Each structure stands twice: as structure tokens, then as C-alpha cells.
Amino acid sequence: MQIIPAVDVLDGSVVRLRRGDYDDVTVYGDDPASAVAGWVDAGATLVHVVDLGAARTGASSPGLWERVGAAGAPFQAAGGIRTPETAADAVAAGASRVIVGTAAVRDPALVAEIVAAVGGARVVGAVDVRGGRARGAGWEDDGRPVDDVVDDLVTGGVGRLMVTGISRDGTMEGPDLDLQRRVAGRVAVPVIASGGVGTLDHVRILVPTGAEAVVVGRALYEGVFGLAEAIEAGSDAGSRVADDGPG
């Protein structure tokens, strides 16, 4: 299972929110591009970069994707990707993938337009869930039923989904396994898990849910475990699941 470090950016700093609360912020650095490059140097094959300000308001932070792209490291861009133009701009700046969340919640027809602009393989549909509803606008709107958003994203042609249990995000209390299983069991596209990972066992228990990857943030920044340890845990757990499979 792929381990994807998170670099969340707010007001130019590398931060982590707790449960999506913009008033509960921990700052870990002031150079997002260096943070992305550092995770790749440590062994990451992809980094998840979130423009938190844009996720909330829709207005992208000027030059963020260009600065991150200039580092030459593979990353997926999230936050404020709400039009074909913003998706294309992020890809042009160097993003390997773009994350679409608010667009799917507010206007599902936009998903297909974004897919047409950059290709389905580059588009990840974000399913960010609180209280049984998939949320947008920095997780601050009322959202829509999870299954409806999942179905709209798949119908729109996204290449994969990223599923986050908002109540677990940034807490290190463990992932929402029921949510991960629910979505993975509903779709044929790959699923990335996100939210709540705080131990290596949390990485391991996600593998049987069918997740192809997991986004990890606070646990790495707090030094609970290292990236190499997480990669090894995901690989070992995946091997055991394969060994226990049919035949």
C-alpha cells in the first residue's frame, strides 16, 4: 500500500488541522515546496498537497502550485480545484493529480468537465465525510449523502477516490474503517484512505479494506513513526493479505 505524506498549507505555512477545524491549527514549517521535496527524498512516491485557504474560499493561493511544482517532486493538488481551468493550471504547474471535492458536492456536472480537461487518470474525487454526508467548501458546508456523491464522481469519470473521515482527521485516533469499506465496496475504481492514522497498526488495518494508498500527516510530523517504517508496514500487510487470498 502506497504511503502518501500530507503537506497542508495555510497562509503560506505547513500545518495540520484537527477534525477540519480552522481554529485548531498546528504549524510545522514555513516552506511547502521544501516539505514536499523532503518527503520525496525520504522515500515518498507521491505527496498530497492541500491549499487549505482555497479549500475554504475557492480562491487559490497565488503561485503555490508553481512553487511546489518547481521542486520537481510528484504531488497531487487539492483545495480550490473547482473548475476545468483551475485543474488545468495545477497540472500545468506540475501536479500529477488534482483532487475534486467541492465541485462534486455542489455541481456534479463539473466533475465530467474537469475530467475532460485533464483526463480521468489525473482526477481524484474527494469524499470527505462528517455525519453521514460528504462535505465541500473546506468541510464547512452541509454536504450531500455519501452514496450520491460517490456515484456522481464515478459517473463523472474520476480515476480514483480519496475517502476521509473528517471526525478522525488530524486526531491520530485511527481511521474510519467502516467508511473506507463502505466506499471501497461500492466502486470499482481505486480508493485512497485518509484521516486518523496515528500508529503503524492503523496503516496495517487499512490494507484489508481495499485501500490502494493512505494519506498520513500528523503522525509523521510528530515523529510517531518514520516514513520508511510506514512504507514497510503497508508493504508487509499487503503481502499478508495477498498470501491469505483465494488459492
Question: How would you class 243 by CB atoms within 10 Å of its CB: exposed for 0-12, middle for 13-18, buried for 19 or more?
Answer: exposed
**135 within 8 A of 143, measured Cβ to Cβ:** yes
Are 100 and 123 in contact, with CB atoms under 8 Å apart?
yes
Out of 8, 89, 169, 176, the active site residue is: 8
Q: Decide if 89 is catalytic.
A: no
Q: How far is CA 139 from CA 33, 85, 167, in A?
A: 25, 22, 11
Q: Please confirm, yes or no, whether 244 is among the known catalytic residues.
A: no
CA-CA distance, 65 to 76, in Å (whole number)?
10
Evaluate whether 104 touches 142 at the Cβ level (below 8 Å). no
**Alpha helices, DSSP H, located in 107-226:** 109-118, 146-156, 177-184, 200-206, 218-221
Q: How far is CA 168 from CA 125, 130, 147, 179, 239, in A?
A: 19, 9, 20, 11, 27
The whole-angstrom separation of Cα 192 and Cα 4 is 9
Question: Which one of 51, 128, 152, 176 is the catalytic residue?
Answer: 128
> Could you give the residue numbers annotated as active site?
8, 128
